[in-house]
């Protein structure tokens, strides 16, 4: 097994570390909106964990998709609605990835 799992987890937990300061500083969300965004992320993650797909294509596609989502979050992070959708998609895929690894 190469460095891919460790790079994936570093990226995933870096997002979890900095998502609150990012949303508070860039989008100026209050604690209630932040809680709703994180709840949506968790609910979509539960849905993603329930979905069953083939293992290896999933493990290859998820880190690539997460990199695209992170880039979109940096570029389009000024809009709360766009951030919410990006983080919901992130939760859909990122929560099921540790189970696959």
Q: What is the mean pLDDT of residues 14-31?
A: 84
The token pair at 79 is 């809009």
pLDDT in tens, 75-91: 887 888 888 888 888 88
Q: Which tens digits make up the pLDDT trace of 28-57? A: 888 998 888 888 887 877 776 655 556 667
Q: How many CB atoms lie within 10 A of CB 68?
A: 12
Select from 85, 89, 66, 67 the least CA-distant residue to 76.
85
Q: Are 84 and 40 in contact (CB under 8 A)?
A: yes
Predicted pLDDT at 64: 79
Q: Give residue 83's pLDDT.
A: 86
**Structural tokens at position 23:** 């949303």
């Amino acid at each position: 097994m190469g460095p891919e799992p460790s790079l994936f987890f570093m990226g995933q937990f870096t997002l979890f570390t900095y998502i609150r300061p990012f949303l508070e500083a860039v989008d100026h969300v209050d604690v209630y909106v932040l809680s709703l965004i994180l709840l949506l992320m968790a609910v979509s993650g539960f849905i993603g964990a329930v979905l069953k797909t083939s293992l290896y294509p999933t493990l290859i596609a998820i880190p690539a998709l997460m990199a695209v989502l992170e880039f979109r979050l940096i570029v389009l992070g000024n809009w709360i609605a766009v951030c919410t959708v990006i983080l919901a998609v992130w939760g859909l895929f990122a929560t099921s990835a540790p189970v696959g690894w």
